[in-house]
Amino acid sequence: MLPDRLRVSERVLIADDDPVMRHLITTIIKQQKYEAVVAEDGRAAYRILQSDSDFKAAILDMTMPFLEGLDLIRYMRTEKRLMRISIMMITAEQDIKLMASSFSAGATAFLPKPFTPERLQSAIRMLLGNRHLRRIAA
Amino acid sequence: MSFEQIINGENQETPPLAPVPARVIRTTSDAVDMELLKAFEELQSDDGSDLIVELIDLYLKDAPQRMLAIREAALENEWGLLKRAVHNLKGSSANLGVRLVAETCIKLERIECEHSTEGVRKLLQQMDDEFARASEVLLSERQRRLQ
């Protein structure tokens, strides 16, 4: 068995307070043969991340109750055990500045809503497909 | 939305998510972009469940709760809460092709609530009307898919 530091996780954290989005993303994650771990808001995601770092990627909504996506990214980028996790930010905001803020906080990819299923699928594939991926504006 | 508002094309100033011609009387078929909704067919899972039916069910359960939160926030003049709830409704509506609800949300996000409570009231009514129209289309599509 590989030591933990070399093993690639097959789990993805999804944090979104919108049940439609959660279901949609979870469906794609499962199609990609990954396990989806779902949080219904930013605080729930934070609690999971406090004790669990076994994730290949995290897909976070920008605007969530209690703790926003940007705050979660900042937390993840200050914790050594969470730093290797690729992060995709999803938002319904049309403000281009948010993309810059997400990348400067440490996001790997950025996907604005609304998006087509094809675009979402392709962004998730890219996120999961390349562990060294940096800065994708999907 | 009133008949006067419809024929006066009051939605012209809103940047559309998917263009809707101005000065056209809207019917239920305008309420949902079926092409966008049906695009989710490509994501159907292998277990035989219908993803589109599942998404419709989730949306029709969640959106009324969001709309209630929006109304409560408006009643209590909690404009920050209102904008947050509107933002959430906008995201799921836009992604499922419920474009007129999404467009109304954009108007609500942009309005200066403190200075236009009457404007907010009208938009809330418009949101209810558009949601009712969209629900009709979504339920019909749901029914069709389950047959």
Give mean pLDDT, residues A29-57. 95
Owner of token pair 């993803």: B51
pLDDT at B58 over 50: yes
Q: Could you tell me if the ipTM is greater than 0.85? A: no
Interval B68-92: pLDDT, tens: 999 999 999 998 889 889 998 998 8
In a domain, B45, yes or no: yes
Give B62→chain A minimum CA distance, Å.
Answer: 7
Which residue on chain B is closest to A16 by alpha carbon?
Answer: B88
- Put simply, the answer to whether A92 touches B36 (Cβ < 8 Å) is no
pTM of the model: 0.81
Range of the domain at B101: 28-146
Query: Cβ distance A17 to A61 under 8 Å?
Result: yes
Q: Examine residue B16 and state whether it is found in any structural domain, yes or no.
A: no
- B40 and chain A in contact, CB less than 8 A: yes
- Please report the sign of the dihedral spanned by the C-alpha atoms of residue A22, residue A26, residue A28, residue A34: positive
Task: Please report whether residue B74 resides in a domain.
Answer: yes
Q: What are phi and psi of B46, to 5 degrees?
A: -80, -10
Token representation of residue B119? 């404007």
Closest residue to B92, CB basis, from A20, A30, A31:
A20
**pLDDT at position A8:** 67
Q: What is the pLDDT of residue B26?
A: 52
Q: Domains in chain A, start-ordered, CATH in brackets?
A: 11-137 (3.40.50.2300)
Strands (E), B8-132: none
All residues of chain A having their beta carbon less than 8 Å from the beta carbon of residue B40 are: 24, 117
Alpha helices, DSSP H only, in A40-138?
42-51, 69-78, 96-105, 117-129
Amino acid A5: pLDDT: 53
Please tell me the distance in Å from A33's CA to the nearest CA on chain B. 12
Residue A109: closest CA among A95, A94, A128, A92: A128
pLDDT tens-digit map of A61-100: 998 989 999 999 999 999 999 999 999 999 887 778 888 9
The CATH number of whichever domain residue B85 belongs to comes to: 1.20.120.160
Cβ of B54 under 8 Å from any chain A Cβ? yes
pLDDT at B48: 78
- Is the residue at B142 inside a domain? yes
What phi and psi, each to the nearest 5 degrees, are found at residue B40? Answer: -70, -10
The verdict on residue B73 lying in a domain is yes
Cα dihedral A120, A127, A48, A77, rounded to 10, equals -130
Residue pair B1/B129 in contact by the 8 Å Cβ criterion = yes
Q: In angstroms, how far apart are the furthest CA atoms of chain B?
A: 52
Domains of chain B: total? 1
